[in-house]
Amino acid sequence: MRTPMIAGNWKMNKTPAQTKALIEDLKKMQNRCGAELVVCPMTVSLAAASEALKGSNIHLGAQNVHFADNGAYTGECNADSLKELGVEYVIIGHSERRQYFGETDVTVNQRSLKALEAGLKPIICVGESLEQKQQGITKEIVCMQTKVALLNVGAQIENVVIAYEPVWAIGTGLTASPEEANATIAAIRGAIREVFGAAADRVRILYGGSMNAKNAHDLMAQPEIDGGLIGGAALAAEKFDGVVNFN
Ligand code: PEP
């Protein structure tokens, strides 16, 4: 009942010209497993991406959005501009934003509410640090992050995607085992159910953290895992192909 999603987070990579070239390669790729595909280039490459994606089934995502409509927020980007460029999804609260740019659960909530108000679908990232994992508090941490991020979301919950990304697995080559990721995602869904009831079963929850062609099949076979948020393996068409065609 939940359409799988494979989303590429290109982070601070790919100039507009490189974005266009990668999208031309991705458009030639088969999509045998039928997941919804999303690419999330840098803000400055979104216009080139939007143009290159015309007529394709690949959706466009941004990597952040501000919570104000306009104003004195140098370096930020508002939701209306993203909409105007044809952006549908926006990653919010990635651990790199939390680590390097002071993003908190509260600002993740504010950005998510603004995205939803503008008709953008947030991909909200949650995940525990290595220290929190070692303390055995993974589920508590991710459930709290999820609940705060979703404060006042109401009926718009159906337009939210959650990405469970253990911080220790991002860009490290380490992954949560499929069973471990499944259990944590089940806990996140339980937290959503506590607030939003049965709608929780319609919310897609992705796994992210060194997902690649080798581990995608086993991760995607888990019942609670609805797709992947892919960093490193999204930057070359042949690598992304191995994730997209995970079966
Ligand atoms: C990410 O940045 O969201 C991510 C999952 O990165 P990687 O796949 O490189 O671990």
C-alpha neighbours within 13 Å on the C-beta side of residue 31: 15
Strand partners, 36: 5
Probe residue for ligand 1, chosen from 165, 206, 240 as the CB with the greatest number of ligand atoms within 8 Å: 165
By residue range, what is the domain housing residue 180?
A: 5-244
**Ligand 1 atom 7: the closest Cα is on which residue?**
231
Query: What does the DSSP assignment read for 161-179?
Result: EEEE--GGGTTTS----HH
Q: At what angle do helices 138-149 and 105-118 cross, to 10 degrees?
A: 40
Probe residue for ligand 1, chosen from 5, 9, 63, 168 as the CB with the greatest number of ligand atoms within 8 Å: 9
Nearest atom in ligand 1 to the alpha carbon of residue 234 is 8
- Ligand 1 close to Cβ of residue 128 (< 6 A): no
- Ligand 1 close to Cβ of residue 171 (< 6 A): yes
246 CA to centre of ligand 1 in angstroms: 17
Whole-model pTM? Answer: 0.98
DSSP annotation of 197 = G
Nearest atom in ligand 1 to the alpha carbon of residue 212 is 8
DSSP annotation of 188 = H
Has 94 been annotated as catalytic?
yes
pLDDT beyond 90 at 35: yes
Query: What does the DSSP assignment read for 40-88?
Result: E--GGGHHHHHHHHTTSSEEEEES---SSSSSS-TT---HHHHHHTT--
Has 217 been annotated as catalytic?
no
In tens, the pLDDT along 58-113 reads 999 999 999 999 999 999 999 999 999 999 999 999 999 999 999 999 999 999 99
Ramachandran region, residue 20 (left: φ > 0; alpha: ψ -120 to 50; beta: rest): alpha
CB 191 within 8 A of CB 148: no
Residue 154 to residue 165: CA distance in whole angstroms: 24
- Ligand 1 close to Cβ of residue 9 (< 6 A): yes
- Ligand 1 close to Cβ of residue 34 (< 6 A): no
The mean pLDDT value for 28-51 works out to: 98
Mention every residue, 6+ apart, whose C-beta is less than 8 A from residue 208.
Answer: 9, 125, 127, 163, 164, 165, 169, 170, 228, 229, 230, 231
pLDDT beyond 90 at 1: no
In tens, the pLDDT along 160-214 reads 999 999 999 999 999 999 999 999 999 999 999 999 999 999 999 999 999 999 9
60 CA to centre of ligand 1 in angstroms: 17
In the chain, how many domains are there? 1
Catalytic residue among 36, 59, 94, 103: 94
Residue 194 to residue 115: CA distance in whole angstroms: 23
Q: The domain that contains 158 carries what CATH number?
A: 3.20.20.70
Residue 74 to residue 226: CA distance in whole angstroms: 36
The mean pLDDT value for 123-142 works out to: 98
